[in-house]
Amino acid sequence: MESVVCFDEVVSPDFEEVSALMRANWAPPCWVYEPDLLTMHILRPTADPSMAVGLRATNGDLASYLAFVPLRLRVGGRLYRGVFGSFFTVSGRYRRHRLSDRQQGLMLDRARDQGYELYVAVTVAGTPANQTVARAFAARGLTVQSVRNFRYLAGVPAIVGARLGAGDPGRVRRYELSDAPAAFTLLSACTAEAPLAKVVEREDVDFLLRLRPRVTTYVYEADGEVLGLVSLSLLPVLSERVGMNAYVEAFAVARLEPAARAAFVDTVLHAALAQGAEAVMVPDTGCADLEVFRRLGFRAAPRKLRLLLGALRPDIMGLPETVDGFCLDVF
């Protein structure tokens, strides 16, 4: 007779254990989910590691995991306490125990109990996670919907490298701690006009741009003033083999004239390719003008993504059914 398996909640499980769960169960192409990737997003200063929870089986296995990363959201000009759901994983060994529904449900309940108001997440179109989230909301008398479909723009060295100009290395340098005030202003300006955007928290800025593992940030400086900012994360990706991709995490260049913007991007991409990036990925969220990348041969990646938005209380009304663009970290 098969023994009964029970599951207990485990708050903020060790990242090594979470990493092993993800690497064993995510199908390529995907990130190689190393612990420092989780640190990048879950351990920023204004985050709350207690909102990263798993289910552990009686035999000690970590069977599932989901992180809700807190953030303030501005939607339609109004501020909300929100959570960004990510890193959802269920071990194939335990899928028959319906852990997907239980894991999503317990995190929604946890978020509601702590007073969070909105839920956002990015999912791959057509995957079961979309139905799992919808069921969890419906079971609580709530609704969640996809408000925007989007893709990454992808550039590969063979094409991009041949089109890059010399750049402007004399005006481009690495971000330093003293740049934090200017960076905060630039990033806040990027989010100010978006119909759905995160609120940039001042205390997070230096962590996001300098202290996070695998992230390098470049600034464009002229006459002693920082006018532009681009941050890249260099992450291993599992496809047919393990390669290295560069992801554009922040892109704040609105103050730069077109020629300066192009030179800045050329300089940053030269650096990314020199570090061994086999592709450079830019999320096309509709929040920034990405023509400078398209001119370099970047094209839409095949995988279609969906931005989900849902209210965590039934009295929150008037959320948009679609948005023209959004300004969020995509992870």
For the chain, percent of residues with pLDDT exceeding 90? 90
User: Do 132 and 228 sit in the same domain of this protein?
Assistant: no
pLDDT tier at 242 (50, 70, 90 boundaries)?
Answer: confident
Identify whether 291 is part of a domain: yes
User: Do 251 and 177 sit in the same domain of this protein?
Assistant: yes
Over range 320-330, report the average pLDDT.
95
Identify whether 2 is part of a domain: no
Q: What is the pLDDT of residue 33?
A: 83
Structural domain boundaries enclosing 64: 7-151+304-327
Over range 258-284, report the average pLDDT.
97
User: Do 105 and 225 sit in the same domain of this protein?
Assistant: no
Over range 161-167, report the average pLDDT.
97
Over range 127-147, report the average pLDDT.
97
User: Do 184 and 313 sit in the same domain of this protein?
Assistant: no
Give which of 327, 39, 69, 115 is closest to 200, Cα–Cα.
327
pLDDT tier at 300 (50, 70, 90 boundaries)?
Answer: very high
How many domains would you assign to the chain?
A: 2
The tokens for 65 are 């995991």
Identify whether 192 is part of a domain: yes
Whether residue 305 is predicted with pLDDT greater than 70 in this model: the reply is yes
Residue ranges of alpha helices (H) inside 193-232 are: 205-206
Identify whether 132 is part of a domain: yes
Identify whether 144 is part of a domain: yes
Q: Which amino acid is at 144?
A: V
User: Do 41 and 66 sit in the same domain of this protein?
Assistant: yes
Whether cis (ω within 30° of 0) applies to the bond prior to 258 is no
Over range 111-119, report the average pLDDT.
99
Whether residue 164 is predicted with pLDDT greater than 50 in this model: the reply is yes
* Upper half-sphere CA count for residue 291 (Cβ side, 13 Å): 5
Whether residue 120 is predicted with pLDDT greater than 70 in this model: the reply is yes
User: Do 19 and 143 sit in the same domain of this protein?
Assistant: yes
User: Do 144 and 255 sit in the same domain of this protein?
Assistant: no
Whether residue 231 is predicted with pLDDT greater than 50 in this model: the reply is yes
Over range 218-237, report the average pLDDT.
96
Bridge-based pairing of strands 279-284 and 144-155 is antiparallel
Over range 280-289, report the average pLDDT.
96
The tokens for 23 are 């690497």
Q: What is the pLDDT of residue 1?
A: 38
Q: From CA 199, how far away is CA 77, in angstroms rounded?
A: 11
- Cα dist from 24 to 36, 40, 61, 87, 251, whole Å: 17, 20, 13, 13, 33
Over range 257-285, report the average pLDDT.
97
Q: From CA 285, how far away is CA 327, in angstroms rounded?
A: 7
User: Do 318 and 285 sit in the same domain of this protein?
Assistant: no
Handedness of CA 142, 200, 246, 257 (dihedral sign): positive
User: Do 310 and 296 sit in the same domain of this protein?
Assistant: no
Q: What is the pLDDT of residue 321?
A: 97
Cβ contacts of residue 76 below 8 Å, gap of 6+? 195, 318, 319, 320
Q: From CA 44, how far away is CA 48, in angstroms rounded?
A: 8
Identify whether 321 is part of a domain: yes
User: Do 81 and 122 sit in the same domain of this protein?
Assistant: yes
CATH number for position 262 = 3.40.630.30
Q: From CA 196, how far away is CA 320, in angstroms rounded?
A: 9
pLDDT tier at 4 (50, 70, 90 boundaries)?
Answer: low
Identify whether 1 is part of a domain: no
Average pLDDT, the chain: 95
User: Do 204 and 270 sit in the same domain of this protein?
Assistant: yes
User: Do 278 and 162 sit in the same domain of this protein?
Assistant: yes
Q: What is the pLDDT of residue 294?
A: 98
Q: From CA 172, how far away is CA 153, in angstroms rounded?
A: 23
